[in-house]
Amino acid sequence: MKQLLRAAKQLPSDPVIPLLGNVKALLSSPELNLWNCYQRHGKFFKIEIPGMKIAVLVGPEANQFVLSDQAGKFSTKRGYWFLKRNLGDGIL
């Protein structure tokens, strides 16, 4: 698992629209878009939205890896920044 995990910028992805990334496909049908990416690229791929590259890890092995003491490798701060004002840092 660790050998397969790479920086989000190195993960495979669908072609993106400059400055917009995958936003158009994600807004039109998010579940279908993610499913298609999984079918094309496997358990590890990336999606892009303006200003962010997001690593997507799929499956129980990936979930176990992320949930097992990986604070140094994964951050929720960028993904949940909009909740910090209401929830603080303790939960996230």
pLDDT value, residue 35? 92
Of 63, 65, 6, 55, give the one whose Cα is nearest residue 34.
Answer: 55
Question: pLDDT band for position 74 (50/70/90)?
Answer: low
pLDDT value, residue 5? 54
- Looking at the predicted structure, is the pLDDT value of residue 72 above 80? no
Of 63, 85, 89, 83, give the one whose Cα is nearest residue 74.
Answer: 63
Domain residue limits, the chain: 8-83
Residue 66 CB neighbour total at 10 angstroms: 14
Task: Give the residue with greater pLDDT, 1 vs 29.
Answer: 29
Q: What is the pTM of this model?
A: 0.65
- Looking at the predicted structure, is the pLDDT value of residue 78 above 70? no
- Looking at the predicted structure, is the pLDDT value of residue 40 above 90? yes
Can you read off the two tokens belonging to residue 53?
A: 């590259």
